[in-house]
Amino acid sequence: MFTLGFIINPFAGIGGKVGLKGSDGEAIRTEAFARGAKPQAVERARVALESLEPYRSELRILTASGDMGENLLQEMGFQFDVVHQSQEPSTHEDTIAAARSMLRQDQKHNGDSSIDVLLFAGGDGTARNIYEAVDGAVPVLGIPAGVKIHSGVYAVTPHAAGLVIEKMINKELVSLLETSVMDIDEEAFREGVVRAKQYGEMQVPAEHRYIQATKSGGREVEELVLQDIADYIVDNMEQDDYYLIGSGSTCAFLMETLGLENTLLGIDCVHGGEVIANDMTEADILELQSRHQGKVKLVITVIGGQGHIIGRGNQQISAKVLSQLDKDDIFIIATKTKLKELDGKPLIVDSDDSEQNQRLAGVIRVITGYEDFVLYPVGIESS
């Protein structure tokens, strides 16, 4: 039997679509719910488990009660043992206690052996909790569900996480790598400052195209190239159209070129050469799309080292928002250096809707200078 530990942080990512840039702490979760946020971690965990449904009879799963694993596994027909009774609502202490219980319970069941892998859904805060509980005792793999994911312990998408576990069940050769557990100061993050810290390393089952890299930080030094990219976008902006300008330093350079106020880690809207909205939520964007007759277009960049263009730090650009955008109206901007650092890995679209992910898969044009473009693959199936 393949022994799988399974934990969901049901509140991971809850602040993303409502513009809160994180979900750590009860106060932020309360504010997120007040803004109309809906939990998404359980559904992202479901996507990962769908790849494992054919292997139900070969799996022994240890999990936590309620929304931390039990409810989803029961709904999907998996056999499991609950080894930790979590609080309602659950806290980070439940994540730590659940992971530690899995190690103890498994040792009772199998002597000195441990779970084959601990699969968990969350963000960087959850990864820190798992690290505190297990350190390097067992391999771990994260299902990306958080707003901010700098750590290298996560798969590039929920589906990719399921595919890696499937390979392990089938006894295919999967390497183990030591990857970084990173997290940032959320309060500084909300003020537009990225202050990341490495907390340790954990073992991760590594499949190159399925596991994300630790995020590359820092502002691009190729300012001449960035200026060319910004000038091209500015010169080709239509006066009647509405431009959603995504997060990150590359997009911030564009806003500086326009001479406009910028939300470094949020989504702003530009129309007629002016900012008409800063730090928009998903609801704000959907209202814009329904209210205005002019075209709504999207300018986003690539997360350095990881390749994500949707689903990391810009959950406001949700599947609902994407469904109302033509593919030709999505502009990807990045320097060739940033693309080269991906080492051939494709760009990743990780929204909550596989149909939208697939719609954008294939090859997309990346703006890399003034009238300078690169055709680059999107989606893990393209690599």
DSSP-assigned letters across all residues of 103-166: HHHHHHHHTT---SEEEEEE-HHHHHHHHHHHTTSS-EEEEE-SS----TTBBSSHHHHHHHHH
Q: What is the mean pLDDT of residues 312-334?
A: 93
Of residues 77 and 28, the one with the higher pLDDT is 77
**Is-contact 142 121, C-beta < 8 A?**
yes
**Is-contact 383 344, C-beta < 8 A?**
yes
pTM of the full predicted structure?
Answer: 0.69
CA neighbor of 205 nearest in space, from 170, 181, 157, 173: 173
Of residues 11 and 33, the one with the higher pLDDT is 11
Look at residue 217 in the predicted model and tell me its pLDDT. 47
**Is-contact 346 377, C-beta < 8 A?**
yes
Q: How far apart are CA 207 and CA 161, in angstroms?
A: 10
Q: How far apart are CA 157 and CA 17, in angstroms?
A: 17
Look at residue 184 in the predicted model and tell me its pLDDT. 67
In the numeric block, which tokens belong to residue 112?
């000195």
Q: What is the mean pLDDT of residues 229-256?
A: 93
The proportion of the chain whose per-residue pLDDT surpasses 70, expressed as a percent, equals 83
**Is-contact 308 276, C-beta < 8 A?**
no
CA distances from 224 to 228, 343, 355 (A): 6, 23, 38
Query: What confidence category does residue 248 fall into, taking pLDDT thresholds of 50, 70 and 90?
Result: confident
Look at residue 309 in the predicted model and tell me its pLDDT. 94
Q: How far apart are CA 122 and CA 183, in angstroms?
A: 12
Look at residue 113 in the predicted model and tell me its pLDDT. 47
Q: What is the mean pLDDT of residues 5-26?
A: 73
Q: 192 phi and psi, to 5 degrees?
A: 90, 15
Q: What is the mean pLDDT of residues 274-279?
A: 94
Look at residue 16 in the predicted model and tell me its pLDDT. 58
**Is-contact 121 45, C-beta < 8 A?**
yes
* Residues comprising the chain, all counted: 383
Q: 230 phi and psi, to 5 degrees?
A: -60, -45
Secondary structure (3-state) at 341: coil
In the numeric block, which tokens belong to residue 289?
């799309």
**Is-contact 29 86, C-beta < 8 A?**
no
Look at residue 245 in the predicted model and tell me its pLDDT. 96
The proportion of the chain whose per-residue pLDDT surpasses 90, expressed as a percent, equals 54
Cβ-Cβ contacts under 8 Å for 197 (sequence gap 6 or more) = 182, 183, 184, 185
pLDDT in tens, 295-309: 999 999 998 888 999
Look at residue 370 in the predicted model and tell me its pLDDT. 85
Look at residue 118 in the predicted model and tell me its pLDDT. 97
Strand partners, 374: 366
Q: What is the mean pLDDT of residues 112-120?
A: 81
Look at residue 242 in the predicted model and tell me its pLDDT. 96
Look at residue 313 in the predicted model and tell me its pLDDT. 82
Query: What confidence category does residue 363 fall into, taking pLDDT thresholds of 50, 70 and 90?
Result: confident
Q: How far apart are CA 17 and CA 313, in angstroms?
A: 9
CA neighbor of 175 nearest in space, from 138, 202, 135, 207: 207
Q: How far apart are CA 107 and CA 85, in angstroms?
A: 19
**Is-contact 300 209, C-beta < 8 A?**
no
pLDDT in tens, 369-383: 888 888 899 986 544
Handedness of CA 221, 266, 378, 165 (dihedral sign): positive
Strand partners, 299: 245, 331
Least confident of 87-91, 188-192, 196-200, 251-255: 188-192
- The residue behind tokens 């190729």 is 222
Query: What confidence category does residue 152 fall into, taking pLDDT thresholds of 50, 70 and 90?
Result: confident
Count CB neighbours of 223 within 10 A: 11
- The residue behind tokens 């999107």 is 378
Look at residue 334 in the predicted model and tell me its pLDDT. 94
Query: What confidence category does residue 88 fall into, taking pLDDT thresholds of 50, 70 and 90?
Result: confident
Cα atoms in the Cβ-side hemisphere of radius 13 Å centred on 14: 23
Look at residue 100 in the predicted model and tell me its pLDDT. 95
- Work out the mean pLDDT of the chain and round it to a whole number: 85
Strand order across the beta sheet in which 268-271 lies: 274-277, 268-271, 242-245, 296-301, 330-333, 362-369, 372-378
Cβ-Cβ contacts under 8 Å for 350 (sequence gap 6 or more) = 144, 156, 157, 158, 308, 310, 311, 312, 357
Count CB neighbours of 104 within 10 A: 11
pLDDT at 22 over 70: no
Amino acid letter at 113?
Answer: S
Bond into 10 cis (ω within 30): no
Least confident of 7-21, 145-159, 171-185, 280-294: 7-21
Look at residue 345 in the predicted model and tell me its pLDDT. 87
